[in-house]
Amino acid sequence: MGSEQVDGVELKARTRPITYTRLPATEPVEIRYQDLSYRANLGIGKGTKEILHNVHGRFLPSQLVAIMGPSGAGKSTLLDVLSGYRITGVRGAVTVNGRERDLEEFRRVSCYITQDDRLQPLLTVKENMKVAADLKLSAKYSERDKYAIIDEILTMLNLAEASKTRAARLSGGQKKRLSIALELVNNPLVLFLDEPTTGLDSASCLLCIKLMKVLASQGRTVVCTIHQPSASLFQNFDHVYVLAEGQCLYQGSATNVVPYLENVGLPCPQYHNPADYVIELACGDYGKEKIAKLVNATQNGRSIEWFTDAENLPPTTHVEVTHRSPRLPGRMRCNMSLQETSQINQLLVILNRGFVKVKRDSTLTYMRLLANIITGLMLGILYYQSGVDGSRVLDNYNLLFSILIHHSMSTMMLTILTFPMEMSILIKEHFNRWYSLKCYYIMVNIVDIPVAGICCIIFTFIVYFMSGQPLTLQRFSIFMTLSLLVVFIAQSIGYIVGAIFNSVVNGTFAGPILIVPMMMFSGFGVNFNDIPGYLRWGTHLSFLRYSLEGYVGAIYGLNRTTLPCEEQLYCHYKYPDKFMEDIAMKGDAYENCIILLSLMLLFIKVTAYYLLRWKIRSLR
């Protein structure tokens, strides 16, 4: 029944006319770029590669612009550079309305919609829109105003009937339209879209392009990359910019592509889609010399001969780059922040969103809770009453270490596996000025405290009492505090790994590698007295060392009396002091362990934040 409803919504979306009453609040934007080049870093020791080769171009307001070209031509790179998403390795001038682009001001009036639909899957369409409105609209908008804007955008995009559907259950076309809807909330002047038709059927593609056509006709500048449009899609574009090997083969109106090709002696075959033919030329199917011929004909993008009403356009002149960039006309800076709302508002909004996600996430919340209960019961049964038996001291020692490994590995690996998806959404929303990175990082750390804390507490209760550990409040409190510190440290290490590595595969490989040295220097298996002097420094860096020593101090320290031996006449470790002497641990070190673990937690969290900030900046 659900699929029929979705199909019905899609059918209506394909037939209903698109209307939108929100007009741009400021004057239109014309984008020019001259001698634009981009050199990508291929990695350590691999050098660089030039993707864009001194290209020129001009995108007029109120036009739907298509950047076309084969795979590897530099389409997405050009879009990234023009939007300001890429700033490292870029040379050349980008101007807005004839003046040098101020990136901060330009980002205030523009938005970037990625090729993949980076949506919050557990939130409904309307909830996603409300979050965007709360973050992207200033305090002068009332709740009523926000809902009015949301309703109009959803109606225009034919998403009103799916407003209560979670984003994960939307069709491909609906997800693409929702991605556009989220960025339309603050009524941007310039829209950049990377491959907006990817993964859509022909009818959904046409609907998406017509939507962008309506937005452009109202005075916005809409620029999108597209690989190989059909003839029906191609005729909807006002302006076409064709790339091949990082050079411009053509720029001008879509209707002038055929005359241009005839003019350069490469006529389009009859009954052939001009878009297909120009891509074939760009791929070098007719010879590499044809690419050079087309680049020369358009002067690598300098020529405006094939624009609509080219004779009425002012000529493209060279723009000198100044050190101070003027602001966009009609757009005054109201505060020093890139975001429209205050830091407190940003934090409250994304905190509320985070708690809603936690409530609805079956994997991160309910399965995690269930896994901790099951693991706790298994360990409790396996080591049942080992804590009160002097003949099972070594078994209980193994249990303490097993508890630490469970807390550290399960928490860290779960964070490594789930953070990359959050990272992709963060990059999009942060670049589009939804919230600051500080607010996001504070939110991430706060939201996971209840789930991680409750799971740790339940697990500890089960294991502690089933294994027969000493039933005193002081010992139990120390044990619980150490467990919580280990969980939060492991979680922060997971954020570090997730921030550094792009893929889940690399992260799952690197995570255990970081934990293994911690295990080696924990004092378990090889005690501190047997570790060579030149390696002993490692024990001071291992959070597992301090947590294990704290556990031992909580269980066997604090002047614990002789342990009973039920099955043997002689128990070597019935005296706790003898056991701690053999493993080279102190019974009164738990206070220092808690302090050191707290300092480690603070250091790792600060490190994780700066690595996350570095990662986001390095992507640009």
pLDDT of residue 423 exceeding 90, the answer is no
The predicted structure's pLDDT at residue 459: 93
pLDDT (average), residues 143-159:
86
- Percent of the chain past pLDDT 70, that is, above it, reads 89
The predicted structure's pLDDT at residue 244: 87
Cβ atoms of 468 and 392 closer than 8 Å = no
Longest dimension (CA), the chain: 106
Which tokens belong to 154? 């959803």
In this predicted model, which residue has the larger pLDDT, 599 or 297? 599
CA–CA separation, 83 and 194 (whole Å): 11
pLDDT (average), residues 552-573:
76
Task: Write the pLDDT tens digit of every residue in 73-98.
Answer: 888 888 888 888 888 888 888 888 88
Cβ atoms of 67 and 243 closer than 8 Å = yes
Which tokens belong to 64? 């739907």
The predicted structure's pLDDT at residue 9: 43
- The model's confidence at residue 20, banded by pLDDT at 50, 70 and 90, is low
Find all residues with CB under 8 Å of 351, minimum gap 6, and list them: 443, 446, 447
The predicted structure's pLDDT at residue 2: 40
Task: Write the pLDDT tens digit of every residue in 508-546.
Answer: 778 788 888 878 777 777 776 677 777 777 777 888 888
Classify the phi-psi angles of 506: left when phi > 0, otherwise alpha if psi is within -120 to 50, otherwise beta.
Answer: alpha
The predicted structure's pLDDT at residue 326: 38
The full DSSP string for 109-148 is SEEEE-SS----TTSBHHHHHHHHHHHHS-TTS-HHHHHH
Closest CA to 241 of 310, 188, 285, 295: 295
Which tokens belong to 179? 């991605």
CA–CA separation, 419 and 568 (whole Å): 51
Which tokens belong to 118? 């980076």
pLDDT of residue 259 exceeding 70, the answer is yes
The predicted structure's pLDDT at residue 336: 54
Q: Using only C-alpha atoms, what is the Rg of the chain?
A: 31
- The model's confidence at residue 598, banded by pLDDT at 50, 70 and 90, is very high
In this predicted model, which residue has the larger pLDDT, 563 or 609? 609
Stated length of the chain:
620
Backbone angles phi, psi at 328, to 5 degrees: -65, 140
Which domains does the chain carry? 28-109+188-316+326-339 (3.40.50.300), 119-185 (no CATH), 343-618 (no CATH)
pLDDT of residue 328 exceeding 90, the answer is no
Which amino acid type is present at position 435?
Answer: Y
Which tokens belong to 442? 């504070």
- The model's confidence at residue 606, banded by pLDDT at 50, 70 and 90, is very high
Helix (H) or strand (E) holding 356: helix 343-360
Which tokens belong to 53? 């080769």
In this predicted model, which residue has the larger pLDDT, 82 or 231? 82
- The model's confidence at residue 486, banded by pLDDT at 50, 70 and 90, is very high
The predicted structure's pLDDT at residue 13: 45
Cβ atoms of 93 and 58 closer than 8 Å = no
- The model's confidence at residue 377, banded by pLDDT at 50, 70 and 90, is very high
CA–CA separation, 302 and 294 (whole Å): 12
In angstroms, the Cα distances linking 40 to 129, 242, 300, 407 are 35, 21, 20, 41
pLDDT of residue 109 exceeding 70, the answer is yes
